[in-house]
Amino acid sequence: MKFLDEAKIYLESGKGGPGAIAFRREKFIDMGGPDGGNGGRGGDVYFEVLDNLNTLIDFRYTQHFRAAPGMHGGGDNCSGKGGKDIIIRVPVGTVVLDEDKETELLDLTIPGQRVLFLKGGDGGFGNAHYKSATNRAPRKSTPGWPGEERAVWLRLKLIADAGIVGLPNAGKSTFLSVTTRAKPKIADYPFTTLAPNLGVVRTHDKEFVLADIPGLIEGASEGVGLGTRFLGHVERTGALLHLIDATQDDIVGAYKTIRAELKAYGHGLAKKPEIIALNKIDALGPELAEDQQKILSKAIRKKVHLISAVAKDGTETVLAEMYKHIEKARADRKAAMPVIQDVVYDDE
């Protein structure tokens, strides 16, 4: 299934049904009064969050969603039937943006959450509504009120506990493949990963979701390479694993390149807890690997791990440190989680 993390859709709630003009006509009842009923209310537009969806691919083929209109009123004071609501089902982590792609309208992160987004139009009044002491036989009704229309962007931000960042060919996909059951594409050329991959890490009776993000290069914040489009998928993570190829000449430059792109992207990524690891140490040998570790650690003044994803050397230590930050992030997220899951969006 193709991964799609952004889509534009057009939404329209149902218009209200018109009211009826009718008069009571029965045998032996003279001068029957007005009994035209009101029109039905138009259908609403809802968003519903499902945890068994992981992409917005369905919105590639269907972009227009319209709720049903309300039915017109009838005689004998019969109100029209309300229009059927329409429910837009999206994955956990979907953000609804205004047409400018910047204004955030909804952030849908709770499985099972259902949000009223557009209200249907009210039904029109029938002539029975206008009956009064001075107007005994009104011949007046009103049409239904129109529904609401809106074009919005859907943007998916994966709900992952931790994310892997680094230059192309830093070994991110290999790390994901050996620590989870995910099967990402692995090759010896840059930009092998073209879309985020997810895997579930199980270590010491603990579980967390790890995301492998396509490689960044210098200038990614200006759109070079694959740009920073996929960095949105690690905005919600509790920690970042920064992998660096230990076999390259300028490991300090590699580290600073990624840090610069994270800062340029913003959204708090540069402030997230960061675990730094020099990967592919199996290709260097112990002494040279330690020399690279000292060079990088001295330059950035941070702790640097030595690992070999292929040989599974040092990976457990890195995972354990990641989980410490993830536990704290989960606790903070739980404390901030709203008690009521059904949220009503009011556009007025």
Asked if pLDDT for residue 52 goes beyond 90, the answer is no
Least-confidence region, from 143-152, 188-197, 204-213, 318-327: 188-197
pLDDT at residue 20 in the model: 93
Distance in angstroms (rounded) separating the CA atoms of residues 231 and 258: 12
Model-wide pTM > 0.85: no
DSSP conformation letters of 29-53: B-S--B-PPPPPPPPPEEEEEETT-
From the list 262, 227, 246, the residue with the least C-alpha distance to 304 is 246
From the list 190, 40, 37, the residue with the least C-alpha distance to 123 is 40
Asked if pLDDT for residue 308 goes beyond 70, the answer is yes
pLDDT at residue 290 in the model: 92
The beta-strand segments (E) located in 128-268 are: 149-156, 162-165, 197-203, 206-212, 239-245
pLDDT at residue 335 in the model: 72
The most confident of the ranges 97-106, 194-203, 214-223 is 97-106
Interior CA angle at 34 toward 30 and 35, to 5°? Answer: 110
**Host H or E run for residue 214:** none
Tens-digit pLDDT profile for residues 254-305: 999 989 988 888 888 889 999 999 999 988 888 999 999 999 999 999 999 9
Higher per-residue pLDDT: 183 or 7: 7
Q: Domains, the chain, ranges and CATH?
A: 1-156 (2.70.210.12), 162-336 (3.40.50.300)
- Residues 78-88, mean pLDDT to the nearest whole number: 94
Higher per-residue pLDDT: 2 or 34: 34
Asked if pLDDT for residue 346 goes beyond 60, the answer is no
Tens-digit pLDDT profile for residues 201-246: 887 778 888 888 887 766 656 665 555 667 777 888 889 999 999 9
Q: In 127-151, which positions are buried (b, 16+ CB within 10 angstroms) versus exposed (e)?
A: bbbbbeeeeeebeebbbbbbbbebe
pLDDT at residue 181 in the model: 77
